């Protein structure tokens, strides 16, 4: 059966032959100015990013931000309106079948055929994914074990709990041992213990596979991913390795005493970048201190306040800034989208 | 096309894991039995009451109102699920993100429908040997064969129409209604229009006679295996399947 040729891209950037100027050849996923429009609505708007081999990247965004649409374009389910996406060196429009061979995909709601049994379903999918007959049994046994489905392998899919369905979907997505795993909200609907199990599984899979997963749970990204892409209003609002995002710690201090003097004392401490008086309350003053390079200055600051004789009530390093970063990024995207709209109206 | 056997097996097992296939089978079994009763009754009457236009095979199947009505309801019921259900439940997404082409998917679903259709017709043919062994009445094999071939290609065409409408929507009922309307048009409306055209002595009567499915099957039953009809059925089938593939390629998420 011939691979169908479709080239209805609206924007085809003139470029050197494939292979040249393609950036890092180790990139398993390359996305360039990928756009999906539904009529006037831009669900995904000029998104570009790369994912290298063995990376685990989290796609984070509020509901309706374009995470699922992006993933559907990467898995060749939806054709992009414009832009380009290459997975394991194959373009999603030119060689969809090659892309599909190399990608394991867990769709958001884990659609399964309710009348099939677990092992039967995995066998069916393995056949469709061209797992050779000789390796099929071992591959299915392998994923059943990894996803702990031994107890339910004879059960009918329609009768499984949400957690098991999720695990069947996950097992199915990796039954053909793909280079790339694309997981749309892999822990949605699971209980805390199952979430831990699935996260551990994903981390383990990260050794051999390149993983792009979407979520709107902040802690999930911290627990699993090496890199974070925040997507809001169809655009990339932030793309950074996780360590760098975690760097920005804020030290929160509450102490009793004259606010101005304490402020000056804190400012003069070595390594302090910025101090902000964030509140006053019956004699206590609250400060937020940002340290250069995200260093932990709690001891030094505590000593400084003690030297001044000001009693300390709180001294905290809050590194949970991922959520703040996320909210800031989304807010910025909203503002930008608003500005865009204004501009359009002005024109 | 190497995935077709895998996909076909799933489609067929899905049919038999729900009640619909059994209900339709039961209905067809009853109709076949009633028609067979009529046939035996007609054949056992004294010869002189049988006019020259009497043809046992057409009395049995293609001339029977039960048969046509059952077919008009059974085909939409068999085909409505095929793609609409995948759209509704979302399983179309995993189905179209494995290394399987849309053509393979559509052909498998269509084949599953055709197989089910043939299974429905089986009772009609199963009775014929009994007629021979019990009543020593035997049909000419020619008309039986030509009717079998003609009904098969007709079924291929009808099922392809059903598959097409099933691909358009995620609502099975809407798919069934559209399919029913088109089949109704092909079977009954064409027949009535032809009768009207003849009564008006219109020039297009001949054209209508050609496309009216009822007459086509009548001819098959008389043993005339008209290749023009087969070509018509198979071209419509190919065209509908092509449209279905195009629909799946362009409208994926419903």
Hey, is the C-beta of B7 within 8 angstroms of any chain A C-beta?
Answer: yes
Per-residue pLDDT at A8? 45
Residues of chain A with CATH 3.40.50.300: 27-242
Confidence band for A220, pLDDT divided at 50, 70 and 90: confident
Predicted confidence (pLDDT) per residue in A105-137, tens digit: 999 889 999 999 999 999 999 999 999 999 999
Q: Using a CB-CB distance cutoff of 8 angstroms, which residues of chain B are in contact with residue A100?
A: 97-100
Query: CA of A131: which chain B residue's CA is closest?
Result: B99
**A-to-B residue pairs, Cβ atoms closer than 8 angstroms:** 68
Numbered ranges of CATH 3.30.70.3190 in chain A: 249-318
Q: Does A159 touch chain B (CB under 8 A)?
A: no
Q: What is the pLDDT of residues A12-44, one digit of tens each?
A: 443 434 443 445 667 889 999 999 998 888 889
- DSSP category for residue A116: S
Residue of B nearest to A123 (CA): B6
Average pLDDT for A200-225: 85
Tens-digit pLDDT profile for residues B55-92 = 677 777 777 788 888 889 999 999 999 999 999 999 99
Q: How far is the C-alpha of A154 from the C-alpha of A147, rounded, in Å?
A: 15
pLDDT of residue A262 exceeding 80, the answer is yes
Reduced to 3 states (helix: H, G, I; strand: E, B; else coil), residue A112 is: coil
Q: What's the pLDDT score for residue A247?
A: 57
ipTM for the complex shown: 0.87
Burial class (CB within 10 angstroms; exposed 0-12, middle 13-18, buried 19+) of A248: middle
- pLDDT of residue A323 exceeding 80, the answer is no
Determine the pLDDT at residue B107. Answer: 97
Min mean pLDDT across A14-23, A286-295, B130-139 is at: A14-23
B11 in A contact zone (CB under 8 Å):
no
CA distance B241 to chain A (A): 15
Residue (of A3, A12, A160) closest to A80 by Cα position: A12
Beta bridge partners of A91: A86
Task: Check residue A10 and give its pLDDT.
Answer: 42
Beta bridge partners of A11: none
Could you say which of 2.60.40.2550, 3.30.1360.20, 3.40.50.300, 3.30.2020.30 is the CATH number of the domain covering A27-242?
Answer: 3.40.50.300
d(CA A93, nearest CA chain B) in Å: 12
pLDDT digits (tens, 9 = 90+) for A149-186: 999 989 999 999 888 898 899 999 999 999 999 999 98
For A64-96, how does the pLDDT look when each residue is reduced to its tens digit (9 = 90+)?
888 999 999 999 999 999 999 999 999 999 999
Residues in chain B within 8 Å Cβ distance of A109: 90
CATH, domain range A249-318: 3.30.70.3190
What was the pLDDT predicted at A2? 45
Of A245, A175, A201, A227, which Cα lies nearest the Cα of A52?
A227
CB contact under 8 A, A105 and B97: yes
According to the model, what pLDDT value does residue A61 have? 85
Q: Which two tokens stand for residue A324?
A: 């703040």
> What residues of chain B, 107 to 146, have a C-beta less than 8 Å from chain A?
none
Q: B63 vs chain A: nearest CA distance in angstroms?
A: 39
Gyration radius of chain A's alpha carbons: 25
Residue from the list B18, B96, B101 with its beta carbon closest to the beta carbon of A1: B101
DSSP A115: T
Checking if the pLDDT of A63 tops 90, the result is no
Which residues does B158 contact at the CB level (< 8 Å), separation at least 6?
Answer: B71, B75, B117, B183, B186
B3–A128 C-beta distance less than 8 A: yes
Whole-model pTM: value is 0.81
């Amino acid at each position: 059966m011939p691979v169908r040729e479709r080239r209805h891209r609206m924007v085809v950037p003139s470029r050197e032959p494939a292979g040249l100027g393609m950036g890092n050849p180790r990139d398993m996923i390359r996305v360039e100015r990928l756009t999906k429009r539904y009529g006037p609505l831009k669900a995904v708007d000029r998104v570009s990013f790369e994912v290298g081999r063995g990376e685990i990247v989290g796609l984070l965004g509020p509901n309706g931000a374009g995470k699922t649409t992006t993933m559907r374009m990467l898995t060749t389910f939806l054709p992009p309106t414009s832009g380009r996406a290459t997975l394991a060196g194959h373009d999603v429009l030119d060689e969809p079948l090659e892309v599909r061979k190399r990608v394991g995909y867990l769709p958001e709601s884990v659609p399964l055929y309710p009348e099939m049994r677990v092992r039967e379903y995995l066998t069916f999918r393995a056949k469709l994914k061209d797992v050779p007959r000789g390796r099929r049994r071992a591959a299915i046994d392998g994923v059943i074990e990894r996803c702990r489905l031994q107890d339910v392998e004879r059960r009918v899919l329609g009768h499984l709990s949400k957690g098991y369905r999720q695990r069947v979907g996950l097992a199915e997505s990796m039954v053909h041992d793909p280079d790339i795993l694309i997981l749309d909200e892999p822990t949605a609907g699971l209980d805390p213990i199952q979430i831990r199990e699935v996260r551990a599984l994903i981390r383990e899979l990260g050794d051999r596979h390149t993983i792009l997963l979407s979520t709107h749970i902040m802690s999930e990204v911290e627990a699993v991913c090496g890199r974070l892409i925040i997507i809001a209003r169809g655009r990339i609002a932030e793309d950074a390795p996780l360590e760098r995002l975690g760097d920005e710690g804020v030290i929160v201090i509450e102490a009793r005493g004259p606010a101005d003097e304490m402020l000056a004392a804190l400012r003069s401490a070595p390594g302090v970048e910025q101090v902000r008086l964030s509140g006053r309350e019956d004699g206590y003053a609250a400060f937020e201190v940002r340290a250069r390079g995200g260093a932990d200055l709690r001891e030094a600051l505590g000593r400084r306040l003690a030297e001044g004789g000001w009693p300390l009530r709180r001294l905290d390093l809050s590194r949970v800034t991922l959520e703040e970063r996320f909210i800031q990024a989304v807010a910025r995207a909203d503002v930008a989208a608003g500005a865009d709209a204004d501009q359009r109206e002005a024109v | 096309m190497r995935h077709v056997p895998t996909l076909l097996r799933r489609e067929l097992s899905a049919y038999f894991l729900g009640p619909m296939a059994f209900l339709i089978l039961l209905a067809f079994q009853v109709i076949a039995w009633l028609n067979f009763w009529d046939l035996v009754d007609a054949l056992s009457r004294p010869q002189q009451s049988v006019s020259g236009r009497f043809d046992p095979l057409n009395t049995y199947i293609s001339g029977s109102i039960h048969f046509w009505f059952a077919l008009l309801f059974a085909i939409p019921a068999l085909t409505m699920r095929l793609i609409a259900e995948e759209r509704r439940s979302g399983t179309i997404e995993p189905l179209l993100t494995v290394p399987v082409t849309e053509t393979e998917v559509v052909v498998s679903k269509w084949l599953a429908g055709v197989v089910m259709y043939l299974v429905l017709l089986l009772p009609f043919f199963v009775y014929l040997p009994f007629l021979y062994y019990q009543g020593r009445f035997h049909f000419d094999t020619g008309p039986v064969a030509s009717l079998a071939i003609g009904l098969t290609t007709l079924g291929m065409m009808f099922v392809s129409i059903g598959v097409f409408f099933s691909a358009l929507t995620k609502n099975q009922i809407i798919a069934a209604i559209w399919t029913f309307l088109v089949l109704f048009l092909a079977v009954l409306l064409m027949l009535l229009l032809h009768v009207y055209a003849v009564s008006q002595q219109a020039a297009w009567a001949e054209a209508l006679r050609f496309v009216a499915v009822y007459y086509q099957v009548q001819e098959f039953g008389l043993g005339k295996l008209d290749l023009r009809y087969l070509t018509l059925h198979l071209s419509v089938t190919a065209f509908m399947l092509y449209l279905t593939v195009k629909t799946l390629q362009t409208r994926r998420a419903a």
